[in-house]
Structures are given as structure tokens and as C-alpha cells.
Structure 1
Amino acid sequence: MDGKEPEMEFNLLDEPWIVVKTKANETKTWSILELFEHAHEAQDLAGELPTQDVAIMRLLLAIMHGAFVTDDIADSDDAINLWTDLWEQKQFPYDNIKAYLEPYHDRFWLFHPTQPFYQSAHIKKNMDAYKAAKGKKVSAEIKWKTVARLVGDLFQSDHAPRLFPARTREAQNRLTYAEAARWLLHLNGFDDDSAKMPTPKGVGYLGQLGILYAKGRNLFETLMLNFVLVDDRDEVFADNEEDSKAYWEKPICETIEREISQPRAQKDLLTMQSRRILLHREQGMVTGYLLTMGDYFAKDASLLNEVMTVWKSDDTRGFAPKRHQLEAQIWRDLSSLLGMKIKNDDNARQPGIIHWLQMLEDTTEKIRFDVNLFHICVTGASYSLKGAGWQIVDYIQDDLTINASLLAKMNEMWVQEIVGVLERTKEAVRRLGYFAADIDEVSGDSLQGSPSTKRREIVKLAQEEGYHHLDQAFQSWLLGVNPDKDELETRTAEWLLIAKKTLLRLAQEQLNQCSETALIGRIKEGGEQNAIKAFQEFQHHIKKALG
């Protein structure tokens, strides 16, 4: 033995690297082939971060599109029939998956001299050529980035260590091959756009989305529910066309920084390469990596083929992906989640996954679809502008369970009414914030510092407190809503009463804690103001908003 690492090592089809939670609540690590053979025996993916699980899920979904979508799938009826045949088996046809992947076995080596998985083998050469073309100095030395920059739950700069990291000491500098494979997919999808060469055209593709997905009763169901075969016009995605290829089905692109058109095929989009990466290994461990820009879409490009995102209106593109807010619970943006119009706003677009679930629910009798509740999850990375670029500061994860019949087209009125009462709830919470600020103002404390800045802070904190107390109440109420049995007016009135009582209680607690100064009040422009009067005004606005 010469001490060198073997040219080809750690094939992701055969080696265990995907972390799952079994039905017995045990954590296991499976290869890709093992996962498809035993997906029905697992609860869910269970990696280090929910964003990592989504990156891996998209890889698995791309394999499903490659294995199951054929030339025979010509329209939405064919798509539903294909999906139904798979669903009713209650587990994946393992032989089909294995037969599809066998010709691409060599493309799944994590380490390979010319085609390492999700990597660029000649990245150093291409980086040097790019530098030379720009008139920059080229060094023969390879400056590997530390793996501390690769690990998403540790994410830190080389000069500013993160407090209380999940990995410490030597573990920060070394990753097993299985760990590195998981973080490789995460980096490709959610990398920031801080200084690197060339200057990135935004964060990684997945970081630009407001990701949502459906969760089933086991991993097989989760993958199947997100196996979307048609767009929002009920047209089949072009996964079977000649130029529609997954990452492993097409030649490796070594070009640094390449603008591409958004693919129509799902397996192509699901395996998009936002970054060019190369892992570095020493003595059976990954100790560093190289990273450059990769594929990206033009700023004005339509991204409407993406099914795992919520949308917002956009002047240039019509619609653009809408990122989730770090501190906003999922139900507060139910209109975007379900793609419903609110008030006089005609600009609404339904997420592809929600359209697909609705389509499945509408065909319940035909396909014996036995899901009564849809568990909708959202996730994503939260970025903050630091120095020259956007850097990850936190991760987002939330979920919501709704009755499947709410998504049926016949129950569109139900969804519109629920979105409507949520808009009224938001107005009431807004008034809670104003009440808290009014209480502070009559107490005299706002005379110190900047009154306007302090008022905004108090309003925000009070509103967050209001939403916090409404969160579990709304989720429990929504879980119990069943349009097949309930009266619409009775159910919506029930929520308005819950919200009204909750917010009045919070306001009463604030009033009870008021100082004597606040109760006496002070003279303002327009008359005397005190805590009692502010509370009465709040009651008036709450009744106006919630009835």
C-alpha cells in the first residue's frame, strides 16, 4: 500500500449516509437503495437540520421521476394512474428503482477521479483559468476551506467562531464520508453569497425559496405526496423528454458561473447545481473543500416550474418565490400557503404541492386515497446582510395540519372564509401592539430615548406575544375543522371568539400591571389619555375587527 486514498470511494447507492427515524423511534443510517427498499418502515428523514432533509428529499424525488415517469405518461389522467398504482402498493417497487439506478452507479461515487457526486473534479484548474483570465495571481497551492464552513449547524467564518457550536474541537475539522455527503447537498442548495470566486448571483437556489412540503404517516408516504407529476395547469412535467435529465444522467459541467434557463423537467430542477464543490479527504475523513459559483437563473427568469415554494406577486416576473419569515408562524400566511386571494388582491398563485394535494383529494373515490389529514411543513434558511453578502443566521421550520377535505375544490369557500378571519385576526393583533405602546406612553417612560423607535419595538414585541398565545389555539381549531360535517358560519365564529378572548385577556393583564402614573394619565394633543381610556379604545377596535 502506498498510503494514498483509493480513486473511487464511498458510493452513495450502496453506503449508508441518509439518517432516518424508524417506526420504533430508532435512528438508522441507510444508503439510497436501502432507503427505497425500506422507506415504508421509517417515520421520516432525521438529518442534522430540516433544510438538510429537504435537500436529500429532493434528490430522492429526482430518482423517483427518473425511475417511474415514462413516455406513457402523456396527460394528467396517466399521471394520476401512475401515482395511484405506486400509492396502493404501500411501498416502493424496489426492483424498478434498482434497475433505473444501475446504469448510473459510477456517477454516485462521493470520491472519483473525474466525476465525484455533486462535485467538480477539476475545480482548482478551472478556478486558476478564471483568475488568469481576470489578470489575477494564480497560486500552485490549494487553499482548502475548513469543513467548519461546510457544516450547516456550525456555520461560522474562519475568524469568528460561533458560540456553543454543535461540534467541538477536532470534530469541527473532520467529517465522516456520510456526514460530508449530507452537508454537500445542503451546501449546494443553501450556501450563502458571502465572498467567494466568482461573486455569487445570490444564495443557493433552495435558499431563495419559501420551501413547503407534505409529510405522510411514513417516509414512503412523504415521498409519494411530494412526487408531483403535473403543473398548476394540470399538464405533465417533461421528465421523459430527451433533453430532460437529472444530474447523473448528463455530462458533468465544469464551467464556473453559468446562467441557465429553468428546466421544465422536475428531475433536472430537483438536482440543480447552484455551486461547484470539491471535497478533500485525508485518512478516511473529509477535512476541507473548494467552492465556486455554479448554475443560476437570470433575475427576471420565471421560476414557475418549482412546486415546493410559496409565491408573491412580482412586477417583473408576475410571481416570484416568497421566503418564509423567521418569526412568523406558518398559519399567519395561510393565504400564500394555499394560494388564495385576499380582499381585493387578484395576485395569488397556488404552490405546486398544494395544487397536487388538492388534485389527489378531488379524485379520492377513483383512487381510494386514504389520507384524511394533510401535514404541511415549511422550512428554509434565514439570511442576514453582513459585510459584502448575505450569510445564514438561522433556520426556519414550522408545520400545520389541516383536514384533507379543506383542499377539495368544492370547499374553496371554506378556505376563503378562513383566510378572511385570519386577516381580521391580524388586525386585532395589530391593535394589541398599539395598545401596549399607548400604555407605555402614558406611563411616561417613552420620554427617554427616541419615542418613535421605542414605540415600534413595543408594538412588535406585543404583537409577537399575541401571536405566540394564538399559535396553538389556531392550530388546534384548524385541525378540528371538517367541511364535510361542520357549519361554516359556526366554525368561523368559534375562532373569532377564541381570538377575541385571548387578546382581551392579554390586554387586561397589561392593564392590571400598569403603574399609577399610567392610570392617571397625561394631557396629549386632542385631550387626556390614560391606561383605562387606552383599554376602552382597544376593546372598541377588537369588537370591530372580530365581532
Structure 2
Amino acid sequence: MVPQPQFNLIDEDWIDVEYSDGTKRKVSLQKAFEDASDIRRIVPEFSQGIILILRFMLAVLYRCYQREGIKHGETKHVWGKIWKTGHFDVSVIGSYLQRVHDRFYLIGGDKPFMQEAGLSYQGKNSDDVDDIGRIVIDLPDNDNKFLFSLRSKGSVESLSCPEAAVWLLAIQAYDCAGIKTPLAGSTTARSGREYAPKGQISTGALGLCGGIYLERANLFETLMMNWVMYVESGEVPFLALVGDAPVWEREAISSMDRRRLTGPADLFTFTSRRVRLIPSDDGNAVTGVVIGYGAQPDPNDMARFETMTLWRLASKKQGESLGIPEGTRVPKTHDPKKALWRGLASVLPFPNSEASGQARAGVLTWVNELMMNDDDEEDDDFSDSFLPQIVAIHAQGMTYGTQNSVYEDSVDEQLDLNKALVRRDDVSALSVVLDVLKRIENCVNELANSVTRVHGLARNKTTLNRYEAFSASIRAEAYYALDALCRNYLRTIADDNAEALETQWRDEAHRLLIRLAEHYFQGTGGSWIAKRKVGGSEIAVGDLYVKLLGYFANEEFGLGKLTDFQSTDATKED
């Protein structure tokens, strides 16, 4: 018997938000749109849930404003008109949500939200269900690991409906691969096991991406900054894709095959898993789940519609694993061990981007499109007045290990950039930034290699693992020491002060690295003159120290000679 539909996400409170006055509460989907200009930000328990809820709400916006034949300039007019009002038109959004109201019930009914009614496991497992902890991503899969978890064992026996709604979004977006229990009707199971489909995206769709979104002062502005109308002017604008339907307007698909995407609304709500939540007897909580592999998005379509990720060209190995040609543009994931500013060249790859095979995230392309005026626009002034002096780029995502079958780490980082660095019409400041960051990278690598050698480790078969581990720890410590300095310059450097700040930045980084080098070398102990045998050669600590300082001072690839500059107010924020 199918349970009666309960807990509708349009009406019930489930999204954790913080209002501008600092108060925190849960709101419904309808209320989130109504109060978007008064809500400072979304604050879910699972921090990576921010990007999921943003994408969910963006899918609603795309569907609300679709219009057949709408042109690029008209979509900019739609965007600009809403931006200038400072709030969403609740009549437009409310009218749409009422039309699809019956598809937003979390529990029960014939078409529960992002689920399949009556879904069960195959054969002798048909009456079984998994513990609800199966969809809680930050929950250890082994009781012995609870020592290292922030969750207690009792907290996962059930989830409230608001909690379950967020984790349902999370598992559809980020679920790991691995062996699963076959679902009823499966024709691909082997020996009672369901394996990840070959040549497909084995994780949830967003698990393949390095999620990027722009963050503003309130939820309205954040949603608007990430509501991309188009990325390439030669492509059909997203609002013209009238066949682009989110998951709640689609019929369930039982196949594990690859499916073509219809647009961003489809992609942002893609259900890569077949799921059924099991409610408690009173229907006020969720106590179990049935889950298995579902259809997978076609990677060839993602570059057209995915606006919230970085890009690179697929290697031969990745092309084979995803069933796509080598060189196809594919999402680039984040490295949790590497601060976002260290990979700024891939976040904002304006100089030589085509040669490197990288492409910036669609949200950044759209920001630049808004700042371009067209003669045929109806008095719309898309100047950069909407772009703040400091642009906050938020990165979120998951990384996986062992054939994507386990969660390895997560990424949740904000990077504040001066708006000069995100504009493509003048890249003088960005060119300076990328050059300084490259020089810092060169010097940090040389510092790590030198200190590792001083400690008696050589890059040979005998000590290679120890060498790499030790040098990696030195690099991590050096970048940690440089973090605040580099972030400060990324916030303040602009086209009109780039030349002056370049000298100051290089000088401050140079002095900091000298202090680190002195600390590390003094820690070796013993004579700085006597020769020490490292690998197959002999070195003296003093000689290597002098050589390292010379590398730092090199004008071609190091940070250049130290100057006698006096720190100015140029790096201080207004």
C-alpha cells in the first residue's frame, strides 16, 4: 500500500537559512523565494548542500521563465528587469509551483519527490531496506570509525523530513560508486550484486564536477548572479529551451543507460540514483531507504549546460572510462589539498585559455556577458555596477577514492577576488597575479626539495616515498604560511595598482620564504660547512642554503631581488 503523500517541500519548512538580522530558521521553498532579499545565506548542516539547494532553486527559475523563441538580448532584459526590482516576482514563481505542487511530496504518493514509488530490492531482498544512514554522506560505514565522526550512533536511526530532504538532494548529486544491492527488475546484476555501469559517470552527476558559484550579500543576489542565461552567444539561450524540464516534471526511468540532457534545469536536478524513502509509522520521520543505480547524464552534454564547474580536456584514460572522445571538454574537480588561489589559472584562465585547453566556469562567463552593452538592447544598462569590488567565489565538491567507491574528502572554500581579476576586457591585473603565483610556486617547490635533501632524503628508489612525503609536508607548511598574504593581494590588486603591488607582493613573499628557509635549515643541526652524503652525492648545508637564496632572488623564475619598499596603504581594504 502506497503511503499518503506527506511533507510537501513547497509548503513545509526544510531549508536552513540565516536572515540579514542574524536569525536562523527553516523555510519552505516558496518562502525562500519570497524572502530571498532578506535571507543572507543558506546554512544547511551539510555544508556542500548550499550548492545543491541553489541549483534546485535555479532549476525552478529556469522553468518559470522559459519562452519559445526568446533571443539572447531578451534574456538579458529579463535578467536585468528582475535584478533592478531587487526581489523575485512571487506571482510568477508561485503560479508555477502550484502547477507542479503534487510532485513535491517527500513521502508517499504515486510520484514522491526525486524517488520511485514501490521501489524494492531484487529476489530474496525484496522486503529489505537499508538503514537511513545510507544516504548520510558524512556518516562512517563502520561502527569502529564513530570515534572520528561528529555523529553519534543513535542519531542515524531516523531523519526528520527536513533533514531527509537535504540528504536526498545530496545522495542524488554526490553518491559514490561501488557494489550495490540489485533493484527489482534489474537485468545487469551478477551474483546478487549490482556493479557501477561501465562507460558512465559512476558517481552522482555533481560528483564529477568542481562546483563553483558566486556569493553575494543575500540569497536573491546570489541566485541572480548564478542564473546564467547563456554561456556561448552561438548557442540557444537557456530560457528558449522549452523542453528543458526538471526531474519533478519527468517520468521515472528504470534504465541505467546514458540519457541526453535537455538543459540546465534537467542537469541541476538530475537523479542519478533510483531511491525510495521509508517513512516511520507516524510519517513524521524517515527510517529507511531503498537505493540503486539509475540513468546517467551524457558527458557530451555537460559542457553545454553545466555552468557551475571548471573545465579541462579529457585524457585518453578518462575518455575511455566515460565513453567519450579524447580531448572532449570535461569537468575539472577540486583538489582538497590545494587552496583555490593556488589553482587560480584554472579558475580564471583568460590568458592563453585556448592553448591550455581550459575554460572558465559559466557563471564567470555570464558575469562578463552582463557587462557588455549591445546597441540593440532597449536602454538596458548592463554596466558593472552590480558587480561588487570584491567578488566571492565559493567552491564546493567531493572527492572519491578506490574507483570512486568511497568518499575521500570534501571541499568547501571561499576565495575573494578583486573584480578586476574576473573581467575579461582588461587582464593586466590577472596577468600580474598569475605571474606572481607561478613564481611563488617555483620557489616553494625549490624550498621543499632543498630542505628534504638537507634532511638526508634523496629521490631514489630506496627513499622515494619518504622523500615525496617529507617534501609534500614542507610545501603544505609553506603555502599555509603564504595563505593570508596571497589572499590579501588577490582582494586588493587591480589594473591601476598592479605594477606597484606586484613589487610589494613579490618582496613580502620573498622575505617570508627566507624566514622559512632559515628556520628549516637551522633545524638540521650540525655543521653548515661539513659535507653530508645524500644519495650518491655530497652536499654542505651552507652551500645549499646559499643556492636556495639565489633561486629566490632570480629575476627570471624566482621572486627577484629584495627591495627597500615601505609598505603603503595600497593593500588595505576600504
TM-score, normalised to structure 1's length?
0.89
In 1, are the aligned partners of 2:489 and 2:505 still within 8 Å (CA)?
Answer: yes
Q: Report deviation, 1:518.
A: 6.0
**Aligned equivalent of 1:428, options 422, 427, 443:** 443
1:174-189 equivalences in 2 (<5 Å): 174-189=158-173
1:455 aligns with 2:467: yes
State the AA in 2 paired with 1:458.
F
- 3-state DSSP class of the match of 1:328? coil
In 2, are the aligned partners of 1:61 and 1:227 still within 8 Å (CA)?
Answer: yes
Question: How big is each residue's C-alpha offset from its partner over 1:407-439, in whole Å with a ceiling of 9 and x where there is no partner?
Answer: 223212332332222122111111111121122
State the AA in 2 paired with 1:466.
A
**Structure 1: how far apart are the matches of 2:479 and 2:527?**
29
**Cα distance change on mapping 1:61 and 1:183 into 2, 3 Å:** same
**Aligned equivalent of 1:91, options 79, 87, 90:** 87
**Structure 2: how far apart are the matches of 1:59 and 1:31?**
13
**Structure 2: how far apart are the matches of 1:448 and 1:231?**
48
Structure-2 residue corresponding to 1:356 = 366
**Structure 1: how far apart are the matches of 2:354 and 2:37?**
45
1:33-52 equivalences in 2 (<5 Å): 33-52=30-49
In 2, are the aligned partners of 1:300 and 1:317 still within 8 Å (CA)?
Answer: no
Question: How big is each residue's C-alpha offset from its partner over 1:484-503, in whole Å with a ceiling of 9 and x where there is no partner?
Answer: x32x3222222221221111
**Cα distance change on mapping 1:495 and 1:233 into 2, 3 Å:** farther
- 3-state DSSP class of the match of 2:36? helix
Q: Report deviation, 1:519.
A: 5.4
In 2, are the aligned partners of 1:339 and 1:351 still within 8 Å (CA)?
Answer: no
In 2, are the aligned partners of 1:342 and 1:419 still within 8 Å (CA)?
Answer: no
1:139 aligns with 2:149: no
State the AA in 2 paired with 1:414.
A
**Cα distance change on mapping 1:322 and 1:500 into 2, 3 Å:** same
- 3-state DSSP class of the match of 2:433? helix
**Structure 2: how far apart are the matches of 1:209 and 1:46?**
21
Query: Among the aligned pairs, what percent are the same residue?
Result: 24
Q: Report deviation, 1:467.
A: 0.8
In 2, are the aligned partners of 1:23 and 1:43 still within 8 Å (CA)?
Answer: yes
**Structure 2: how far apart are the matches of 1:432 and 1:478?**
23
Deviates more, 1:455-464 or 1:404-413: 404-413
Structure-1 residue corresponding to 2:270 = 272
**Cα distance change on mapping 1:448 and 1:346 into 2, 3 Å:** closer
1:219-238 equivalences in 2 (<5 Å): 219-233=219-233, 235-238=235-238
In 2, are the aligned partners of 1:232 and 1:352 still within 8 Å (CA)?
Answer: no
**Aligned equivalent of 2:51, options 49, 54, 69:** 54
Structure-2 residue corresponding to 1:546 = 559
In 1, are the aligned partners of 2:307 and 2:361 still within 8 Å (CA)?
Answer: yes
1:63 aligns with 2:44: no
1:379 aligns with 2:375: no
Structure-2 residue corresponding to 1:116 = 112
- 3-state DSSP class of the match of 2:80? helix
**Structure 2: how far apart are the matches of 1:183 and 1:11?**
16
**Structure 2: how far apart are the matches of 1:164 and 1:303?**
38
Q: Report deviation, 1:232.
A: 3.2
- 3-state DSSP class of the match of 1:511? helix
**Structure 1: how far apart are the matches of 2:437 and 2:298?**
35
Q: Report deviation, 1:279.
A: 0.3
In 2, are the aligned partners of 1:239 and 1:266 still within 8 Å (CA)?
Answer: no
**Cα distance change on mapping 1:376 and 1:234 into 2, 3 Å:** farther
In 2, are the aligned partners of 1:55 and 1:185 still within 8 Å (CA)?
Answer: yes
**Structure 2: how far apart are the matches of 1:343 and 1:465?**
30
**Cα distance change on mapping 1:235 and 1:5 into 2, 3 Å:** closer
1:324-403 equivalences in 2 (<5 Å): 324-341=334-351, 345-362=355-372, 365-366=381-382, 368-369=385-386, 371-385=388-402, 389-403=404-418
**Aligned equivalent of 2:134, options 135, 149, 153:** 149
Question: How big is each residue's C-alpha offset from its partner over 1:132-185, in whole Å with a ceiling of 9 and x where there is no partner?
Answer: xxxxxx12642211122211232x226654334333233211100110001000
**Structure 2: how far apart are the matches of 1:343 and 1:356?**
17
- 3-state DSSP class of the match of 1:366? coil
State the AA in 2 paired with 1:145.
D
Structure-1 residue corresponding to 2:485 = 473
Q: Report deviation, 1:211.
A: 0.7
**Aligned equivalent of 1:102, options 98, 104, 116:** 98
- 3-state DSSP class of the match of 1:546? coil
In 2, are the aligned partners of 1:237 and 1:266 still within 8 Å (CA)?
Answer: no
**Aligned equivalent of 1:20, options 17, 26, 29:** 17
- 3-state DSSP class of the match of 1:255? coil
Structure-2 residue corresponding to 1:133 = none
**Structure 2: how far apart are the matches of 1:24 and 1:535?**
54
**Structure 1: how far apart are the matches of 2:83 and 2:266?**
23
**Structure 2: how far apart are the matches of 1:369 and 1:523?**
61
Q: Report deviation, 1:311.
A: 1.1
**Structure 2: how far apart are the matches of 1:424 and 1:158?**
44
Question: How big is each residue's C-alpha offset from its partner over 1:40-88, in whole Å with a ceiling of 9 and x where there is no partner?
Answer: 111111001222111111110000111123236311x212211111111
Structure-2 residue corresponding to 1:193 = 177
Q: Report deviation, 1:258.
A: 2.6
- 3-state DSSP class of the match of 2:413? strand
**Structure 2: how far apart are the matches of 1:423 and 1:448?**
27
When the two structures are aligned, how many residues end up with a matched partner? 522
**Structure 2: how far apart are the matches of 1:236 and 1:51?**
30
Structure-1 residue corresponding to 2:252 = 253
Cα RMSD (Å) of the superposition?
A: 2.5
- 3-state DSSP class of the match of 1:303? helix
In 2, are the aligned partners of 1:109 and 1:117 still within 8 Å (CA)?
Answer: yes
Deviates more, 1:145-154 or 1:445-454: 445-454
**Cα distance change on mapping 1:465 and 1:161 into 2, 3 Å:** closer
TM-score, normalised to structure 2's length?
0.85
**Cα distance change on mapping 1:96 and 1:343 into 2, 3 Å:** closer
Structure-1 residue corresponding to 2:572 = none
